[in-house]
Every structure is written in structure tokens, then in C-alpha cells.
Amino acid sequence: MTFVSVLSNQPLLPHLIIRGLAAHEDEPCVLLDGQVRSYGDVRRQTSQFVQAQRRLGVGRGSNLAVLSKNRPEVLTNMAASMVNGCVVTPLHPLGQLHDHDYVVGDAGVQCLVFDPEHFTERAAELKERHPELLLLGLGPNGVGEDYLALADRFEPQPLAAPDVEPEDLCAIVYTGGTTGNPKGVLMSHRVWAAMTWIQMAEWELPPDLRMLVATPLSHAALSLLVPVLLSGGAFHVLYGFEPGRFYDVVEQSQITATLIVPVMLYALQAHERYETADMSSMETIFYGASPMSPAKLADAIEHWGPIFYQFYGQTEAPMVIAHMKKGEHDLAKPERLASCGKPVPWMHVALLDSDHQPVAPGESGEICTRGPLVMTGYKDLPEQTADALSGDWLHTGDVGRFDDDGFLYIVDRTKDMVISGGFNVYPREVEDVISTHDAVSMVMVIGVPDPKWGEAVKAVVVLKSGVEPSDELTKELQALVRDTKGPQQSPKSIDYVDDVPLTPVGKPDKKVLRARYWQGMDRAVS
């Protein structure tokens, strides 16, 4: 007997958005600086945005980019674009013209939705480089259509999902790019549906969900939108991350959950209100995107309790490859705080060697995964796609190991490994040791050219407020690593800086940092 395939099609992101918006009416959905949008408000504006897009010829399969600081319409536009069947590409609000220009051209963006208060000039520059680009401003502007005024001309209609299949393209999301231009990751509706049902099954979302969004909403919206809507929760949005304002909103709005990257926690810990702010309403702090200092994580758990939930993934398989739940952050086992948890049961995860074979128990290998979360490939990059998906696995580029309890530890990125005098040194391990020192606020470890060792281990350290660098402190940090990890791991030199370079999404940017020390070299290895 032959079954028609439509019988087994799962609900996709557009269906889930429609269902979430339909389940509530007057309950708050998005709150920002005194503005409150109810579920009904968001649903009606979503319909108006869909109709406005279609009036301008933007519809199923159209490539649409978003460039905006945080404002409620960013979330509504994201919902509308999904319901309209568009392919979405977020542009980071801190990105430079070169980055935006490259992504718009590479992704084949046809329509740019932008915040006219901050990005009218950038929209005009992109239009000059891409004359066919349709500009939709979130308000009056001098370079494109007024998206809000156009949408207001339409009467809200019931939302209907587009005719899309699981393997149809949903988004093109660009990696940070460790070398050269970023790669466009092709993400199908299957990926976002899989991520959503893993989140709903595994993430420890508070029953009364008030989600504080302190990261760019244009990037957070796709990952958080459906879990919050299906939970009947509310987005409490900050214009941008600032520790004092973060604490204010947590206290005033009794926030129950948030999502941060490690550098945000470090900034919260360095703030004068770390000891005194009322965090009693907070039930879950989701964190990920880059490794967290175990020492700083332990300190935060002691202050705020067992409320931390770690997620691990990458753009090519977003957010939910592995996780460490709140109860697994065990202060009695401090070494576990360096783990990214256990693989979720919804994905296959293995540690493989260079021949795509599993490594021996206890050995380190490249973290590889397969399952519904894996990207389709990189846009117009067949060789890189074949590389990343070789052997029928997605190769994450992360080196990991399992402990006896099944917890996964990321030793380092394969490309970040330092080879010094024939020894393999994983910067993550050195960073974890140095960050335990009371004087250290943040640290990055890289390899730098060295005539004797080929590469030498260098630590770049941001000190806590009031601490001054000294030769004695340098010797102390070097000895700390030497006594903990061995002499080959100890930094040959330590530089003290006011801050370290970060990517637009808040990850330490080792590409930029390494470039400072490798200028004039023919290659980035020695």
C-alpha cells in the first residue's frame, strides 16, 4: 500500500507560529521600554505585514533580510516572514558595511527590512550596491517604502500557513567566518522544526515564562519565538545589553528566564549590583555560544542557585546537539562545570578520528553529529559542504571527549589548537585554569609565532577592576598553569589588555586576536 507523503508531514515553523499566536488574545506577548503588545496585537500585525509583503511581490521563496536594533516589530516581521514562506537572513546590527554587502549579495537578498532610526544610511548604501534591492523601513524614511504605513492599510485576516515542505529553505544564516568571508548555512524548515521540538521536550522552561531578551532580537527571534509562544510566555526585550538595566528589568518584571552568552555573565559579575540585585524570580538562565569559565560559573551558581542550563550547537546544527540541565550543574563535581552536558536523545553524536572512525573510550576526537538538525549545506560552496558532511556526518570542528558518566567536554576547536615544540596544546584547557585566578576577569589563549617552538602559547588577559599588571602576577599565572597542566601548557608570555575582541554575537574573536600577532607572516602557522 502506498501512502501519500502529505499524511506524514510534520507541523513546521509557520504552523507553530500560527498556533502559538492563536492560543491567546489579551495576554502580553512583547514588552519593550513601556510598550506592551498583546498576543492579539502581534497576530493582527503579523497578518498586516504578510499582506504588505505580498502587495510588493514578496512571497514564498523570496529572500528577505532584516537589519534593526531591538524593537517589537522585529519579532512581528519575523513571524510574518515565516508565515509568508520567505527565506530569512538576519544582518547583525553591529556588522560593518563590507559584511552586510557581502551577505546581501551572496544570499541573493531581494528585500531588506530595516530600522530607519538607525540604519537608513546603511540601507541606502546597500541599495546603491544592489539596485534591485527592495527597501522596507519600519517607519518613515527617505530611501524606501514605509512598511508600517503600508501594513496599516490592510485589515487583519486569519493567518494561514504557506505550502512548504520540510526540506524547503527557511533561512540562510551566516557563520562568523574564521578565515575569509562567512559561509551561508542553508537551513530548511526541517531544521527549525527539529530544534523547536527538542527545545519543547528538553529545555527547562519555567511554567510562567517571562523571557528577558538582551541579545539582538533579529537573531534570537527564530530560536526563541516558537517555544515562548507555545508556552504562552512573554518577551521582555532590552534595546541592548547593559548590566544595570538587566538587573532593573529582572527585579521590576519578575523575569523567570533569559538567554545569555558567557561574556554577558562576566559583565554581570563585574557589576556593583552582582552581590545585591534581587534575582529570586529567575528560574532558568540558558547559556551557550562559547565555552563558559567553570570558575565563574561556579561563583554564579553559589550566588543565584542552580538555575543555569547550558545548550551546545553551532550554526550548522543549531543550539540543541547537547545540553547540561540545571540539576547537572553539580558544585560537588566542579570538573563537570567544564562540560557541555550530554547529547540529546534526538541526535546521533560520535567522536571520530581523521578516518571517520570512532575514537577509543576516553580519547579525544572530533565531535560529529547526524540527525534532523543538520543543515542542507553551505550556499554555493560544494567543496566546503562535502568537507563538512563527509562520511555522512556533520563535522563540527570541535574536539571533544566523554567522561565515564557520559558528559561531553569540548577540549577545543580543531583550528585553535596550538602545536608548540611538537606538543598539542588546547587553549580552552589553559583558559579554564587561568580564569580561576582571582585577578582575572577574562582570558583568551592563542598560539603566536616563535623561532624556537614554532608556536608559543600566549595568554591575553583582562584583569578585574583595581588590579594592576605586574611581573609577579605574570609569574603567578604561568606557575598556576604549569602546576595544573604541565610546563608545555604554560604560557610563554602574557599580555594585559583592557578588553578582548568579540564577534557581533559576543563570542571571543580569536581570528582578530591572532591577526595582531601574525601580521607579516605568510601563513597562520609556524
Q: Are 455 and 418 in contact (CB under 8 A)?
A: yes
The CATH superfamily of 241-414 is: ANL, N-terminal domain (3.40.50.12780)
The whole-number pLDDT of residue 27 equals 97
Rounded distance, CA 521 to CA 526, Å?
9
**Where residue 524 falls among pLDDT bands split at 50, 70, 90?**
very low
| Topology alike, domains 36-187 and 241-414 | yes
- Give me the percent of the chain exceeding a pLDDT of 90: 73
Q: Is the pLDDT of residue 471 over 70?
A: yes
Number of Cβ within 10 Å of residue 472's Cβ equals 8
Task: Enter the pTM of the model.
Answer: 0.82
pLDDT tier at 176, thresholds 50, 70, 90: low
Kindly report, residue by residue over 58-112, the tens digit of the pLDDT: 999 999 999 999 999 999 999 999 999 999 999 988 778 888 999 999 999 999 9
Domain at 417-518, CATH from 3.30.300.30, 2.60.120.1310, 3.40.50.880, 3.30.70.380: 3.30.300.30
* DSSP one-letter code for 57: T
| Residue-range domain boundaries for the chain | 36-187, 241-414, 417-518
If you average pLDDT over residues 172-182, what whole number do you get?
70
Query: Which stretches within 282-352 are classed as H helix?
Result: 294-304
Residue 177: pLDDT over 50: no
Instruction: Give the pLDDT of residue 429.
Output: 80
Residue-level pLDDT at 5: 65
CA distance 495 to 482: 17
Beta-carbon count within 10 A of 484 CB:
15
Render pLDDT for 240-283 as a digit per residue (tens, 0 to 9): 899 999 999 999 999 999 999 888 898 899 999 999 999 999 99
Distances (CA, A) of 279 to 62, 116, 253, 314, 343: 43, 35, 11, 29, 30
On the question of pLDDT at 496 being above 80, the answer is yes
pLDDT digits (tens, 9 = 90+) for 328-355: 999 999 999 999 999 999 999 999 998 8
Q: What percentage of the chain exceeds 70 in pLDDT?
A: 94
CA atoms of 289 and 176, how far apart (whole Å): 12
Q: Is the pLDDT of residue 113 over 50?
A: yes
Percentages of the chain per state (helix, strand, coil), in multiples of 5: 35, 25, 40
Residue 175's pLDDT band, with cuts at 50, 70 and 90, is confident
Pairwise CA distance, residues 272 & 508, whole Å: 24
Question: What is the dotted CATH code of the domain comprising 36-187?
Answer: 3.40.50.980
Closest alpha carbon to 321 in 338, 297, 304, 345? 345
